[in-house]
C-alpha cells in the first residue's frame, strides 16, 4: 500500500493550490490582475496539473539548430534509425516484461532471481522517500533533454517552434515543445521521422553520457578523493547489529572481511556473498587458550541440529567446535574476542601447522545460515559480527571514495553516483516508453511517419495505411496499459 503520509502530503498540497486559485479568481479586486499575470507569464492551472509555457528559449533552440548543419543531419539521421529500432524493440521488451509479471503473479512465492528491466515506480512504496529528490530531478532533466531534441530537430527541418514549457502532473514533472502543426504536416515523412525520433534518441544519448560519467567519476574526483583503499562507511542503520560501541561508525574504512580483502563496495558485497555461501571460517587458536575453566563438559543440540555449549547466553562467549588427536569432536565455550584476536583463519587443523606453536582450528558452532564475521577497519578494533550475512550487508552504506582532505564530505561522490544511476534508469525508461507505438506518445507519430515512408508505394490508399497504423497503435496501447496496470498491482497490492 502507498504510505498514508505521502498521499496526505500530495493531496494537501494540491488542495492548497486549488483553494488559493479559486479564492483569487473569485475575488473581484484581484481577479483581473491575477488572471492577467497567469496569462502574461504562461501559467495554466487545473486540478492536479500546472503548466508553464514560454518563448524565451526560442532563440537558444534556433542557435543550436544552425550549429554545423552537416553534423546535425548525421546526428538526427542516426537518431531516426535508433528510434525505429527502439519502436520495435520496445514492443519486444514490454511483451517480455508482461510475461515475467504474469509468471510472478501465478507463482506462490516471488522469484527475485530474474529482475525485470522495466518496473513501475511508486514513490514511498518501491522508491525510498529519502531519494525522491534524485528521482524527480532526473525525470525533469530527462524530459527537458527529450524535448530539446524535438525542438532542435524541428527547427532544422524548417518547422516553426512556438515555445517551450514545463508542467507538473500530480507529483511527476515534465517538459514539452509547442510546434507549428501546419509546417509539420507539410514536410516529408522522413523529415517528420527525424523530428519524432529525436526525443528518444536524446534520452538514449543522455544515458550514454551519464553512464560514461559514472565510470569516469574516480578520474574526475581524483584530486579530492582516492579509491582502492577500502570501503568507506557513510551510514550505519541505527539499532542494527553493525552499530554499537564495538561496531562501525561514519568515516570508518573497511579493509577486510575475515581473509577477504575489501578494496571497494563491490569487493564488500562479493566478500559477504562468499562468506555466506561457504562453510563458517575457523580460527587457529593456541592450545593453551583451551583452558578447562572455559570448556563445557556438556553440549546440547539446538532445534536446527547444530550444537550449543554456552548455556548462560553470554554476550561475550561463544561455542566453538574442534578436534584433537584423541577425540574427533569437542566443544568449548570461550570468550570470542580474546580467543580469535590476531588469529589467522583456517578450515582444518592442518591449516594451523605452519609454525612451532601447537594450535588447533576452532570453528564457531552457530545456527544454520548464521555466521561469525570479523570486520577489519583499522585503526579501530575489529568488529565481530554474529548473525545473518544479509543483515551485515544491508545495515551499512558504503562508498568507494575516500576524501583526501578532512573538510571534504564523503557523501558528495555518493550523491553524484546516485544521481547518475537515476539518470541512466529514468532516461532509458523514458526512451523505451515513448518509443512504444501507443496513442498520445511519440511512438504514435513515429509509427505513422514510418508507415508513410515505407508503405506509400506499396499501399497507395492513405486510409488503408491509417487503418494498419490504428491496429498497431491499439495493440501497443493495450500492451503498455497491461504492463502499467499489472506492475502497479504487483507493487502496491502484493
8 is a domain residue: yes
Residues 11 and 112 in one domain: no
Residues 177 and 316 in one domain: no
Cell of 210: 551519464
Residues 97 and 134 in one domain: yes
pLDDT in tens, 428-443: 999 999 999 999 899 9
325 is a domain residue: yes
Q: Tell me the C-alpha distance between 402 and 413, whole Å.
A: 9
163 is a domain residue: yes
Q: Tell me the C-alpha distance between 284 and 276, whole Å.
A: 20
Residues 255 and 179 in one domain: no
3 state DSSP class of 453: helix
Residues 174 and 199 in one domain: yes
pLDDT in tens, 349-381: 888 887 667 888 999 988 888 999 999 999 999
Domains in the chain, number: 4
Residues 186 and 335 in one domain: no
Residues 293 and 353 in one domain: yes
Mean pLDDT of 224-248: 90
pLDDT in tens, 180-189: 999 999 999 9
Closest CA to 361 of 352, 370, 369: 352
- Please state, as a whole number, how many other Cβ atoms lie within 10 Å of the Cβ of residue 391: 16
Cell of 326: 584423541
Give catalytic status of residue 147 as yes or no: yes
233 is a domain residue: yes
pTM of this structure: 0.83
The domain in which residue 21 lies consists of 4-41
Residues 23 and 139 in one domain: no
30 is a domain residue: yes
Residues 143 and 213 in one domain: yes
- Please state, as a whole number, how many other Cβ atoms lie within 10 Å of the Cβ of residue 335: 14
Q: What are phi and psi of 68, to 5 degrees?
A: 45, 80
31 is a domain residue: yes
51 is a domain residue: no
- Residue 274 makes CB contacts below 8 A (sequence gap 6+) with 260
- Would the pLDDT of 288 be above 80? no
- 461 pLDDT tier (thresholds 50, 70, 90): confident
Cell of 1: 500500500
Mean pLDDT of 406-416: 90
Percent of the chain with pLDDT over 90: 57
Residues 292 and 271 in one domain: no
- Give the number of residues written for the chain: 494
pLDDT in tens, 136-180: 999 999 999 999 999 999 999 999 999 999 999 888 899 999 999
Q: Which one is catalytic: 147, 157, 308, 452?
A: 147
Mean pLDDT of 290-300: 60
Percent of the chain with pLDDT over 70: 94
For the chain, what is the radius of gyration of the CA atoms? 31
Cell of 426: 529514468
Residues 152 and 301 in one domain: no
Residues 196 and 336 in one domain: no
113 is a domain residue: yes
Amino acid at each position: 500500500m502507498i504510505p498514508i503520509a505521502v498521499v496526505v502530503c500530495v493531496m494537501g498540497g494540491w488542495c492548497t493550490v486549488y483553494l488559493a486559485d479559486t479564492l483569487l479568481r473569485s475575488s473581484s479586486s484581484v481577479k483581473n490582475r491575477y488572471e492577467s499575470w497567469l496569462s502574461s507569464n504562461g501559467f495554466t492551472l487545473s486540478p492536479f496539473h500546472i503548466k508553464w509555457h514560454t518563448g524565451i528559449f526560442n532563440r537558444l533552440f534556433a542557435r543550436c539548430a544552425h550549429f554545423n548543419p552537416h553534423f546535425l543531419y548525421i546526428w538526427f539521421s542516426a537518431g531516426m534509425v535508433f528510434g525505429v529500432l527502439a519502436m520495435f524493440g520496445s514492443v519486444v521488451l514490454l511483451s517480455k516484461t508482461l510475461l515475467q509479471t504474469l509468471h510472478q503473479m501465478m507463482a506462490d512465492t516471488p522469484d527475485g532471481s530474474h529482475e525485470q528491466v522495466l518496473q513501475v515506480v511508486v514513490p514511498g512504496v518501491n522508491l525510498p522517500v529519502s531519494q525522491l529528490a534524485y528521482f524527480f530531478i532526473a525525470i525533469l532533466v530527462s524530459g527537458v533533454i527529450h524535448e530539446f531534441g524535438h525542438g532542435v530537430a524541428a527547427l532544422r527541418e524548417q518547422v516553426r517552434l512556438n515555445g517551450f514549457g514545463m508542467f507538473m502532473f500530480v507529483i511527476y514533472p515534465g517538459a514539452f515543445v509547442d510546434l507549428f502543426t501546419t509546417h509539420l504536416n507539410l514536410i516529408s515523412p522522413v523529415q517528420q521521422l527525424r523530428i519524432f525520433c529525436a526525443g528518444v534518441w536524446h534520452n538514449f544519448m543522455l544515458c550514454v553520457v551519464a553512464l560514461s560519467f559514472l565510470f569516469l567519476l574516480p578520474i574526475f574526483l581524483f584530486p579530492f578523493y582516492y579509491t582502492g583503499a577500502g570501503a568507506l562507511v557513510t551510514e550505519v542503520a541505527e539499532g542494527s547489529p553493525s552499530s554499537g560501541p564495538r561496531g562501525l561508525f561514519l568515516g570508518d574504512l573497511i579493509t577486510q572481511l575475515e581473509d577477504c580483502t575489501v578494496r571497494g563496495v563491490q569487493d564488500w558485497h562479493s566478500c559477504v556473498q562468499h562468506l555466506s555461501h561457504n562453510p563458517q571460517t575457523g580460527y587457529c587458536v593456541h592450545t593453551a587458550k583451551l583452558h578447562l575453566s572455559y570448556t563445557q563438559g556438556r553440549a546440547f543440540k539446538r532445534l536446527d541440529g547444530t550444537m550449543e555449549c554456552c548455556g548462560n547466553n553470554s554476550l561475550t562467549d561463544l561455542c566453538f567446535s574442534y578436534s584433537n588427536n584423541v577425540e574427533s569432536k569437542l566443544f568449548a565455550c570461550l570468550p570470542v574476542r580474546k580467543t580469535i584476536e590476531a588469529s589467522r583463519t583456517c578450515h582444518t587443523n592442518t591449516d594451523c601447522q605452519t609454525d612451532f606453536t601447537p594450535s588447533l582450528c576452532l570453528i564457531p558452532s552457530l545456527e544454520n545460515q548464521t555466521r561469525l564475521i570479523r570486520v577489519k577497519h583499522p585503526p579501530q578494533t575489529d568488529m565481530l559480527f554474529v548473525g545473518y550475512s544479509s543483515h551485515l550487508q544491508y545495515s551499512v552504506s558504503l562508498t568507494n571514495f575516500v576524501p583526501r582532505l578532512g573538510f571534504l564530505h564523503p557523501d558528495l561522490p555518493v550523491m553524484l553516483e546516485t544521481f547518475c544511476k537515476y539518470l541512466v534508469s529514468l532516461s532509458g525508461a523514458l526512451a523505451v516508453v515513448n518509443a512504444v507505438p501507443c496513442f498520445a506518445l511519440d511512438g504514435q507519430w513515429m509509427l505513422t511517419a514510418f508507415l508513410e515512408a515505407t508503405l506509400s508505394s506499396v499501399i497507395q490508399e492513405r486510409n488503408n495505411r491509417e487503418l494498419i497504423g490504428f491496429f498497431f497503435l491499439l495493440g501497443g496501447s493495450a500492451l503498455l496499459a497491461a504492463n502499467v496496470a499489472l506492475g502497479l498491482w504487483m507493487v502496491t497490492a502484493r
